[in-house]
Amino acid sequence: MAGSPPKYTRILLKLSGEALAGGKPHGFDRPAMQAVADALAPVLAAGVQVGLVVGGGNLFRGLPAAADGGDRATADYIGMLATVMNALALHEVLERAGLAARVMSALPVTGVAEPFVRVKALAHLAAGKVVLFGGGIGNPYFTTDTAACLRAIDIGAQLLLKATKVDGVYDVDPLRNTTARRYEQLDYDEVLARHLGVMDATAVALAREHALPVRVFDMNSRGALLRIVHGEPVGTLMGPAADGRQT
């Protein structure tokens, strides 16, 4: 890997809001956010352009709020604002680490984030800046997984990376079942048919329609992100059906 050019030159990384909280039940954890900056630094140094979508679950979760009797649309708007807050917090950490970054939001938040404009996002990426996409897609009823797929397609990312707590996709929850089996590769239809919960169905269908490959991996695995952009088969790859899949 040393000295070799990366396989991917533009990626979209999806982080959960919980990833920014570290082990805390909610809020921000600076060491956890610094770890994100540390993982991104060598990737950017290799010349890879990085877009990033972060969830808002460490601050607010829309679906549970709606399930408790709240209005779903209102809950989703609050959740979208939480993703902007997370993007701003991570932006500050990236900048302090010497990594140029910009926050763009699909939900207008004048004064704190640029409105999402595709050509401007592409210009920022070309300039070597991490573009943090907040505000979901700007409309309720869609998850940040769907927003990540949409933004990856918008910017022409060659790969969508979904960071999780485990090292790929399993047939059952590996944190609860020691006999869980990890998949090395899955096609989109398998993910939907087996109800694996990698991403919501809308996101998977969008990735399938645009043949967007998605790699699910453990962000806490040291060097994993850099290894992936250099083409190593870390985690589980979700993509078009292929012969010779290993499970």
- Please tell me whether 220 is known to bind a ligand: no
- Residue 34 phi/psi, 5° resolution? -65, -35
What does the DSSP assignment read for 2-56?
TTPPPS-SEEEEEE-HHHHHTTSSSS--HHHHHHHHHHHHHHHHTT-EEEEEE--
- Please tell me whether 27 is known to bind a ligand: no
- Its sign, for the CA torsion 15, 211, 1, 5, is negative
- Please tell me whether 212 is known to bind a ligand: no
- Please tell me whether 178 is known to bind a ligand: no
- Please tell me whether 77 is known to bind a ligand: no
CB atoms within 10 A of CB 172: 11
The single residue listed with the structure tokens 């352009």 is 49
- Please tell me whether 141 is known to bind a ligand: yes
- Please tell me whether 202 is known to bind a ligand: no
- Please tell me whether 56 is known to bind a ligand: yes
- Please tell me whether 116 is known to bind a ligand: no
- Please tell me whether 15 is known to bind a ligand: yes
- Please tell me whether 165 is known to bind a ligand: no
- Please tell me whether 239 is known to bind a ligand: no
Q: Interior CA angle at 190 toward 185 and 194, to 5°?
A: 115
- Please tell me whether 86 is known to bind a ligand: no
Q: Which residues does the annotation place in the binding site for UMP?
A: 56, 76, 137-144
Q: Which residues does the annotation place in the binding site?
A: 14-17, 56-57, 61, 76, 137-144, 164, 170, 173
Q: Which residues does the annotation place in the binding site for ATP?
A: 14-17, 57, 61, 164, 170, 173
